[in-house]
C-alpha cells in the first residue's frame, strides 16, 4: 500500500512538471514577442501610457532605380504586312480582228520586251496593203497627168489659145489630185499598220501568267479577245499597309527592308510613294516600294513582312521604353516626388526598340522609374531611390605616367 501511494504521488508530480513547462514556454513566447515589438516600434512606452493601443508600424519604402529624361536622336522601325505585286499587268488582246494563226509562248514563260507573243493570220491584211498601194499608184499617176496638162495649158494661155477659165479648172484639178494622192498614201500607211499588228509583241519584259486562247480561235476587237495575261517581272512593287496612327512618320525616300520567306536576307529598298488617302474601312494607308527582280526569283503575289525605317528625329525628348506603362489607354511614367511614386501622363511620339519620344508631360532631367518597379509599383507608394552604381576609374591615356 505504501509503494502504491508513492507511485501515485510521483505521477501527480510529473503532471505538475509538464504544466510548469507549458507555462514556461508560453511566458518565453510572450517575452520574445514583447522584445520583438520593442525592436520594431522603438523604446517601450512607460506604464499607463497608450495602454491597450497597438504600436504603429512605419510604412515600407521600396528601393527603385531612376534615369533622367534626356534629349537625343531616335529612329522608329515601322513593321507592316504587305505583298509583292507586279507593277504592271496587261491583258493582251489584238488590235485587228482575225484568226489566231500561232501562239509562240505558254503559261509560265518569261519574255523580253518586244518578243513575239502570237500571230493573227496576216494574209487578209497583206491583200489590203497591196490594194492600198495600187490605189496610191493610181492617184500618183493622175496627179502627174494633171500637172502635165496644166503646164501645157499655161504655155497655150500665153498664146491666148486657152482661156483663163480652162486654166483655173486645171489648177483646181491639180489640187484635187494632190489631195487624192495624200489620201491614198494614208491608206497605204493604215494597211501597213494593220498588217504589222497581226504580230502581237510583248510591251515589256515579264512572265506569261495565263494563256487563254489557242490557235484557230477568231480574235475579236470589240469586245476584245484576251489571248494572254502578262505581268512585269524585272521590277516588282511592295505595298505595305500602314496604320493611320503612323500617318506622319512615313516619307518618300525612307529606307525599307523587305522580308520574304525563303530568301536568306532581306531586300533593301526605299519608299517610292505614299498614298494620300486613308481607307475608311481599315483606317490604314498604303506605302509603296520598288523591288528589283532582275533574276526573276520573286513572284508577284507573295506575302512579305515590310520594315520601314523613317528618318531619325534629332533633339527628341527621350525615356527608356521600359519606363512606359498604360492605364485606361493613356501612357504614363512614374517619377519620384517627395519620396512617393507619382504617375505622370505623357504624349508619345516615335517609339524605337529601346526608347520612346515624349511630346508632352516631361522635361529634361526629370527622374523616371525604370526596371520591374516601373511596371508593378502602385502609384502613391513610398520609394527610396537607389544609389547609382559607382563608375570605375577612367582608363589612363596611352603613354601617361603611372
Q: What is the CATH number of the domain that holds 172?
A: 1.10.287
Mean pLDDT within 357-369: 91
pLDDT band at 388 (very low <50, low <70, confident <90, very high): low
> Which three-class secondary structure string do you get for the chain?
CHHHHHHHHHHHHHHHHHHHHHHHHHHHHHHHHHHHHHHHHCCCCCCCCCCCCCCCCCCCCEEEEEEECEEEEECCCEEEEEEEEECCEEEECCCCCEEEEEECCCCCCEECCCCEEEEECCHHHHHHHHHHHHHHHHHHHHHHHHHHHHHHHHHHHHCCCCCHHHHHHHHHHHHHHHHHHHHHHHHHHHHHHHHHCCEEECCCCEEEEEECCCCCCEECCCCCCCCEEEEECCEEEEEEEEEHHHCCCCCCCCEEEEECCCCCCCEEEEEEEECCCCECCCCEEEEEEEEECCCCCCCCCCEEEEEECCCCEEEEEEEEHHHCEEECCEEEEEEEECCEEEEEECEEEEECCCEEEEEECCCCCCEEEECHHHHHCCCCCEEEECCCCCCCCCCCCCCCCC
The CATH number that applies at residue 363 is 2.40.420.20
pLDDT at position 353 is 77
In a domain, 150, yes or no: yes
Per-residue pLDDT at 349: 80
Residue 37 forms part of a structural domain: no
pLDDT band of residue 132 (cuts 50, 70, 90) is very high
Model confidence at 375: pLDDT above 90: no
pLDDT on residue 5: 40
**Do residues 324 and 299 share a domain?**
no
Q: What is the mean pLDDT of residues 152-168?
A: 86
Q: In what order do the strands lie in the sheet with 313-320?
A: 70-74, 313-320, 355-360, 347-351
| CB proximity list for 108: less than 8 A, separation 6 or greater | 207, 208, 209
- pTM attached to this predicted model: 0.55
Residue 296 is part of a domain; what is its CATH number?
Answer: 2.40.30.170
In a domain, 136, yes or no: yes
Q: CA 256 to CA 49: how far, in whole Å?
A: 76
Q: In this structure, what are the phi and psi dihedrals at residue 379, rounded to the nearest 5 degrees?
A: -60, 145
Measuring CA to CA, which residue among 356, 340, 392, 366 is closest to residue 64? 340
Name 185's Cβ contacts closer than 8 Å, sequence gap at least 6. Answer: 136
Asked, for residue 53, whether it belongs to a domain, the answer is: no
The domain containing residue 190 runs over which residues?
A: 123-197
Whether the per-residue pLDDT at 92 is higher than 90: the answer is yes
pLDDT the model gives residue 38: 42
- Whether 21 shows a pLDDT value over 50: the answer reads no
Look at residue 43 in the predicted model and tell me its pLDDT: 35
Cα-based distances in Å from 305 to 86, 239, 248, 348: 17, 10, 21, 25
Here the contacts of 101-106 (C-beta below 8 Å, separation 24 or greater) are: 101/215, 102/215, 103/211, 103/213, 103/214, 103/215, 103/227, 103/228, 105/208, 105/211, 105/228, 106/208, 106/211
Alpha carbons within 13 A on the beta-carbon side of 172: 6
| 210 falls within a domain | no
Report which of 356, 382, 360, 395 is spatially closest to residue 67, judged by C-alpha positions.
356
Answer whether residue 245 shows pLDDT above 60.
yes
List, for residues 314-358, the tens digit of each pLDDT value: 888 999 988 998 888 789 999 999 889 999 999 988 777 788 889
pLDDT band at 59 (very low <50, low <70, confident <90, very high): low
For residues 16-22, average pLDDT: 32
**Residue 290 counted as domain residue:** yes
Structurally, the chain folds into a number of domains equal to 3
Tell me the mean pLDDT in the region 76-102: 92
**pLDDT on residue 56:** 61
- The per-residue pLDDT for 293 is 85
* Cα–Cα distance for residue pair 293/283, rounded to 1 Å: 31
Most distant CA pair in the chain, distance: 195
Q: What pLDDT score does 2 carry?
A: 41
Tell me, yes or no, whether 298 and 331 share the same domain.
Answer: no
Which among 59-73, 252-266, 379-393 has the top mean pLDDT? 252-266
**Residue 250 in domain:** yes
How many Å apart are CA 323 and CA 318, to the nearest integer?
11
Of the three residues 197, 224, 247, the one that is the final residue of a domain is: 197
More confident residue, 323 or 393: 323
pLDDT at 386: 85
CA 30 to the chain's CA centroid: 71
Mean pLDDT of the chain: 81
List phi, psi (to 5°) of 350.
Answer: -75, 150
Q: Which residue has the higher pLDDT, 34 or 231?
A: 231
Q: Is the dihedral of CA 190, 192, 198, 200 positive or negative?
A: negative
Between residues 50 and 330, which one has the greater pLDDT?
330
Given a cut of 50, whether residue 379 has pLDDT beyond it is yes
Please report where in the chains the cell 512579305 appears, as a residue.
304
- 119-123, 225-229, 313-317: segment of lowest average pLDDT: 313-317
Whether the Cβ atoms of residue 367 and residue 66 lie closer than 8 Å to each other: yes
Phi, psi of 179 (to 5 degrees): -65, -40
User: Does residue 98 form part of some domain?
Assistant: no
Q: What's the N-to-C CA distance of the chain in angstroms?
A: 99
- Better-scored residue on pLDDT, 398 or 143: 143
227 contacts 119 by C-beta, under 8 angstroms: no
Q: Which of 77-86, 110-119, 163-172 has the highest mean pLDDT?
A: 110-119
For residues 181 and 248, membership in a common domain is answered with no
Cell for 315? Answer: 533633339
pLDDT of residue 217: 95
Query: For the residues 286-312, what does the mean pLDDT come to?
Result: 86
pLDDT of res. 54: 61
User: Predicted confidence band at 57 (pLDDT cuts at 50, 70, 90)?
Assistant: low
Asked if the model's pLDDT at residue 100 lies above 70, the reply is yes
Residue where a domain terminates, one of 308, 324, 345: 308
Q: What is the predicted pLDDT for the residue at 390? A: 53
Amino acid at each position: 500500500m505504501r509503494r502504491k501511494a508513492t507511485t501515485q504521488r510521483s505521477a501527480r508530480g510529473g503532471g505538475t512538471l509538464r504544466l510548469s513547462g507549458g507555462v514556461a514556454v508560453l511566458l518565453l513566447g510572450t517575452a520574445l514577442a514583447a522584445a520583438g515589438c520593442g525592436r520594431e516600434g522603438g523604446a517601450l512606452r512607460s506604464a499607463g501610457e497608450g495602454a491597450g493601443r497597438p504600436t504603429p508600424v512605419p510604412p515600407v519604402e521600396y528601393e527603385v532605380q531612376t534615369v533622367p529624361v534626356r534629349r537625343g536622336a531616335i529612329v522608329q522601325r515601322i513593321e507592316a504586312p504587305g505583298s509583292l505585286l507586279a507593277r504592271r499587268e496587261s491583258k493582251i488582246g489584238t488590235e485587228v480582228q482575225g484568226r489566231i494563226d500561232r501562239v509562240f509562248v505558254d503559261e509560265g514563260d518569261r519574255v523580253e520586251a518586244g518578243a513575239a507573243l502570237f500571230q493573227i493570220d496576216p494574209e487578209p491584211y497583206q491583200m489590203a496593203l497591196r490594194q492600198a498601194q495600187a490605189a496610191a499608184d493610181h492617184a500618183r499617176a493622175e496627179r502627174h497627168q494633171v500637172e502635165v496638162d496644166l503646164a501645157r495649158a499655161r504655155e497655150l494661155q500665153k498664146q491666148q489659145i486657152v482661156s483663163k477659165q480652162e486654166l483655173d479648172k486645171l489648177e483646181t484639178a491639180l489640187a484635187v489630185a494632190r489631195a487624192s494622192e495624200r489620201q491614198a498614201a494614208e491608206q497605204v500607211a493604215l494597211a501597213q499598220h494593220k498588217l504589222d499588228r497581226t504580230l502581237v509583241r510583248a510591251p515589256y519584259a515579264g512572265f506569261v501568267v495565263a494563256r487563254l486562247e489557242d490557235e484557230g480561235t477568231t480574235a475579236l476587237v470589240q469586245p476584245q479577245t484576251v489571248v494572254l495575261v502578262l505581268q512585269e517581272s524585272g521590277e516588282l512593287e511592295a505595298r505595305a499597309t500602314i496604320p493611320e496612327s503612323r500617318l506622319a512618320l512615313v516619307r518618300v525616300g525612307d529606307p525599307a527592308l523587305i522580308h520574304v520567306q525563303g530568301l536568306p536576307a532581306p531586300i533593301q529598298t526605299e519608299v517610292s510613294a505614299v498614298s494620300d488617302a486613308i481607307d475608311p474601312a481599315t483606317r490604314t494607308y498604303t506605302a509603296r516600294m520598288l523591288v528589283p527582280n532582275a533574276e526573276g526569283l520573286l513572284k508577284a503575289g507573295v506575302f512579305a513582312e515590310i520594315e520601314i525605317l523613317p528618318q531619325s528625329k534629332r533633339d527628341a525628348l527621350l525615356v527608356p521604353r521600359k519606363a512606359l506603362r498604360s492605364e485606361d489607354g493613356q501612357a504614363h511614367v512614374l517619377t519620384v516626388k517627395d519620396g512617393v511614386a507619382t504617375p505622370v501622363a505623357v504624349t508619345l511620339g516615335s517609339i524605337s526598340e529601346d526608347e520612346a519620344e515624349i511630346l508632352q508631360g516631361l522635361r529634361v532631367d526629370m527622374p523616371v522609374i525604370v526596371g520591374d518597379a516601373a511596371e508593378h509599383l502602385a502609384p502613391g507608394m513610398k520609394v527610396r531611390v537607389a544609389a547609382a552604381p559607382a563608375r570605375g576609374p577612367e582608363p589612363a591615356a596611352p603613354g601617361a605616367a603611372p
